[in-house]
Structure 1
């Protein structure tokens, strides 16, 4: 299984696809933070006084994580924040689905019309798949670098 999930082409595809999705998802949220704040408010999960904070921070975090994922930099840190975001998205969408809320998901474009239950379910599945992809990248993405570092001969030259 490690041979399949650790395949460098699979890991590259995961990085590029999920990175592009996160960058694309951040675009309309960055240019339309007020509309995104309304989308967050519709989930009815946090007090209205706190809605602006994630509406301002989240799009930039998505963008930065998307870029870092594509470039392969800061694998663990980037993966951690992506996992946190994806779990929050899954929880938010799931509770909206269960409660039957008629919401604009705000996933990609906060100006979208309200999402149907089937669209929300599709977004939940997409987020679960992206979560799996990020976890695969976090677990298997650094194996070769780690092995090289472990097998590296220690530098024992005396200091002069």
Structure 2
């Protein structure tokens, strides 16, 4: 005599009845897919935390270079460039720490998408105006003779970062999160 167990509310739809019928392929397929999505969420959260923290740390001890980089965009006055140069490094570090610790994960990623979008707009406008600038993303970098390829690469990289942040809004990795 075999007994059939009632499915639990916490079981995925594909796993219901699998144990009772002896067919574990539905459950194992769900577990594999779930784990793969967890890995993507883990990478998105912690890689973006690393990106924000490393970008902010690179700017901490280079106030003058960061101010000059911001001024090169020809958007802000020298006073605003100075203020932004003082703020941007600590704010990037703060955003990275929020992701690292798992505090307000979705909100932190929304802010990250807004900031990355503004970075893309700034780089695109400099590119379209023919300005030769260093983006200043990770400190002062050497420019090549033709920075147009660097602009496209930087914009593409930021689009990937936006995709990772959007994924973290959709499916945040909440394990080890203090206040997700």
TM band (smaller chain): 0.7 to 0.9
Query: Which residue, out of 136, 143, 146, partners 1:114?
Result: 143
TM-score between both structures, scaled by the size of structure 1: 0.79
Higher CA-based Rg: 2
- Could you tell me which runs of 5 or more consecutive residues in structure 1 were left unpaired when the two chains were aligned: 144-160
The count of residues paired between Structure 1 and Structure 2 equals 140
Q: Higher RCO, 1 or 2 (CA under 8 Å, sep at least 6)?
A: 1
Q: Show the counterpart of 2:159.
A: 128
Q: Show the counterpart of 1:152.
A: none
Q: CA deviation at 1:70?
A: 2.3
Give RMSD over aligned pairs.
2.1
Q: Is the 8 A contact 1:105 1:114 kept in 2?
A: no
Q: Is the 8 A contact 1:23 1:62 kept in 2?
A: yes
TM-score between both structures, scaled by the size of structure 2: 0.71
Give the secondary structure class of the aligned counterpart of 2:136: coil
Equivalent-residue separation in structure 2 for 1:41 and 1:22 (angstroms): 21
**Aligned: 1:68 with 2:98:** yes
Cα deviation 1:38-97 (Å, max 9, x = unaligned): 000000112222111211111111111112112222113311221221011111111111
By percentage of residues, which structure has more helix?
1
Give the secondary structure class of the aligned counterpart of 1:100: coil
**Aligned: 1:81 with 2:111:** yes
Q: Show the counterpart of 1:140.
A: 171
Query: Which residue, out of 28, 50, 57, partners 2:58?
Result: 28
**Aligned: 1:51 with 2:115:** no
Q: Is the 8 A contact 2:58 2:138 kept in 1?
A: yes
Consecutive aligned runs of 4 or more in structure 1 exceeding 6 Å deviation:
none
- Could you tell me which runs of 5 or more consecutive residues in structure 2 were left unpaired when the two chains were aligned: 1-32, 175-180
